[in-house]
A and B are shown apart, each in its own frame.
Chain A
Amino acid sequence: MLRYILKRFLSLAISLIVASMVIFAVIEIAPGDPAAYMLGINAQPDTIAALRAELGLDQSKLQRYLSWVGGMVVGDFGTSYAYRSPVAEMIGDRLWVSLPLAIYALTLSTIIAFPAGIYAASRRGHFGDTAVMGATQLGVAIPNFWFAMICVLIFAIKLRWFSAGGFPGWDRGFWDGIKALTLPAIALALPQAAILARVMRSSLLDMLGEDFIRTARAKGLSRRQTLWRHALRNAMIPVLTIIGLQFSFLLAGAIIIEQVFFLPGLGRLVFQSISARDLIVVESVVMLLVFAVILVNFLVDLTYAIVDPRLRGRT
């Protein structure tokens, strides 16, 4: 097991290094000099040179890559070109919106998908199954930002249950924050819930066809008992994998939903930075999102190995 963890950890480290190289290289292609951009068109060449030195832009590409990566390891993401403030602080502030939103959406998606998937599997071929599967087909096809707009129209503008956008900040109270994130989380959760419900159903149906289920039934357990005691527990493995993968996609997907609700999260930060050509912020946010995906994959693999010992041998 230790060997497996070490091997996976090594592959995690390599993935992160290569990903950071790719991101750095792509951003390097960008035309223009950030220092000249920050100082405007009337800047003197020696002022630009001084700022270049201050930002470390006069170093070689390799040096800059190493200091960027080295800084990130200790939590120093550099200084924003546009705001002259530490990128780590800017990202930290925004994470307090994006991360709770992703967690909230994941919770909602799980709460919706589990009962729906279990119900559909237990009613296979009946009307309930067809209805749930039809609803998930639709759920997968609905763009979440469109659904978000419709939610705003109904629940914020017509019914006035929620505000149409914005975020009051967590210091105004936990429930105010949760309320502001509710519509965005619902919009974000819907397509994910549809996918998760389909996975839950098919995984459960696979399990219900297994021999040990027949044994349990032969032993005298009712259908309901076999489903809850035996099938569900085993069906959870693929479901947990999908939940893990969804988390990182929710974090990235939140970028679009934040635009609909004017939430001050990572998404808005990234778009502001693109238009301000604040590439160091873009670079760091992208690295953070990719890091989240790679880390979650790693954790899912480890959980897999803990749950299913057969997988440890295969690396």
Chain B
Amino acid sequence: MRNLILGAALTTVFVLAALISFIFTPYDIAALDIPNKLQQPSAQHWFGTDHFGRDIFSMIMVGARTSIAVAVLAVGIGMGLGIPLGLTAAARRGGWLDEIIMRGNDLVFAFPALVIAILITAVFGASAVNAIIAIGIFNIPVFARLSRGAALGLWSRDFILSARVAGKSSARISVEHILPNIGNLMIVQGTIQFSLGILAEAGLSYVGLGAQPPTPSWGRMLADAQTLVSIAPHLALFPGMAIILTVLGLNLMGDGLRDWLDPRLRVLRA
């Protein structure tokens, strides 16, 4: 429970920062202020300024939008395609459709997210949308495997048998009875993939395969900081801490949710 609260609190801070940045940031991140470049953290600029004199605190707030949007959409793609595939495979377990879906999954698994991103970028050029697609594709087999595994366990249960006796089709059973029962598991995994998505987006933006300037992103801020890190370490420190705390928060929340949602663990604790 402690993990869940701490994780949820950290996550909320960054989600709020991203939301607030739509209506307010302490400074305008598009305005250049060269005389005030590379300022150390101070009362005026909490996290200092970058090589164009932009306020790093404001940039981290706006960067949170990019990170969160990319990760959320990538998890959405993974869930939206992966779960139906997994449920279909489970409903047709042992059949040719199951075999094709699972072999397809194995194939996608052989492509690390970075490699998918390299392929997409080589063909279509770098952008945040391509980062979303790359991370999203990587997420599909994760959810497909997990939902198939969980659904297989349910298909042999009595309540599913009674639904079949009642004449419901396997598609309807999957949606009405299986899906609600694997929902918790998917939410927990979603949280974990969300945190991996934040890390992946940062990595892709850092090497120039993700969000392109002027869209601020934490990975790009780190890439910009690289050559200046010896004279202005704060340029690297704060975006890095933002990534670490967000990922840590999501992981703690995922762990906490799993413990909280799994009734067996709750009984053990009681």
Question: Which A residues form the contact surface with B (CB < 8 A)?
Answer: 14-15, 18-19, 22-23, 26-27, 29-30, 137-138, 140-143, 145-146, 149-150, 152-153, 157, 248-249, 252-253, 255-256, 259-260, 267, 270-271, 273-274, 279, 282, 285-286, 289-290, 293-294, 297
Contacts and interface: CB of A to CB of B under 8 A. Distances in A.
B175 to A, nearest CB: 30
Contacts of B106: 15
Given A19-B107, A150-B240, 16 more contacts: A14-B103, A27-B122, A137-B251, A138-B248, A143-B203, A149-B222, A153-B233, A157-B229, A157-B230, A253-B112, A255-B118, A256-B203, A274-B118, A274-B122, A290-B110, A297-B110
Given A255-B207, A294-B110, A146 B251 contact: no
A289 B236 contact: no
B247 interface: yes
B111 interface: yes
Contact of B114 (A27, A152, A153, A256): A256
Interface of B is mostly: helix
B166 interface: no
A22 B248 contact: no
Interface of B: 103, 106-107, 109-112, 114-115, 118-123, 195, 199, 202-203, 206-208, 222, 225-226, 229-230, 233, 236, 239-240, 243-245, 247-248, 251-252
Given A27-B122, A143-B202, A274-B121, A252 B225 contact: no
Interface of A is mostly: helix
Given A145-B206, A252-B114, A260 B243 contact: no
A252 B112 contact: yes
23 contacts: A15-B106, A15-B110, A19-B110, A22-B107, A23-B119, A26-B119, A26-B120, A26-B123, A137-B248, A142-B240, A143-B203, A143-B243, A146-B244, A150-B240, A248-B112, A253-B112, A256-B114, A256-B203, A267-B207, A279-B122, A282-B122, A286-B115, A293-B109
B150 to A, nearest CB: 20
A204 B233 CA distance: 41
A137, A141, A152, A285 — most chain B CB neighbours (10 Å)? A141
Contacts of A143: 199, 202-203, 206, 222, 240, 243-244
Contacts of A294: 110
Contact of A270 (B118, B195, B239, B243): B118
Contacts of A14: 103
Contacts of A19: 107, 110-111
A29 B123 CA distance: 7
Contacts of A260: 226
Given A19-B107, A259-B206, A282-B122, A145 B114 contact: no
Contacts, number: 113
Contacts of B247: 140-141
B229 A152 contact: yes
Contacts of A293: 109-112
Given A18-B107, A286-B119, A290-B115, A256 B207 contact: yes
B1 to A, nearest CB: 16
B138 to A, nearest CB: 11
Contacts of B245: 141
A206 to B, nearest CB: 15
B115 A289 contact: yes
A252 B116 CA distance: 11
Contacts of A289: 112, 115
B112 to A, nearest CB: 4
B251 A141 contact: yes
Contacts of B119: 23, 26-27, 282, 286
Contacts of B251: 137, 140-141
A141 B109 CA distance: 22
A32 B227 CA distance: 34
Given A149-B236, A294-B110, A141 B244 contact: yes
B225, B236, B252 — most chain A CB neighbours (10 Å)? B236
A267 B209 CA distance: 12
A147 to B, nearest CB: 8
B236 A138 contact: no
Contacts of B244: 138, 141-143, 146
Nearest to A267: B207
A143 B110 CA distance: 22
Contacts of A153: 229-230, 233, 236
Contact of A252 (B115, B202, B226, B236): B115
A146 B243 contact: yes
A149 B230 contact: no
A141 B248 contact: yes
A299 B118 CA distance: 26
Given A255-B207, A274-B122, A145 B222 contact: yes
Contacts of A149: 222, 225-226, 229, 236, 240
A30 B118 CA distance: 13
B235 to A, nearest CB: 10
A12 to B, nearest CB: 11
Contacts of A290: 110-111, 115
B48 to A, nearest CB: 15
A15 B107 CA distance: 6
B212 to A, nearest CB: 13
A54 B22 CA distance: 55
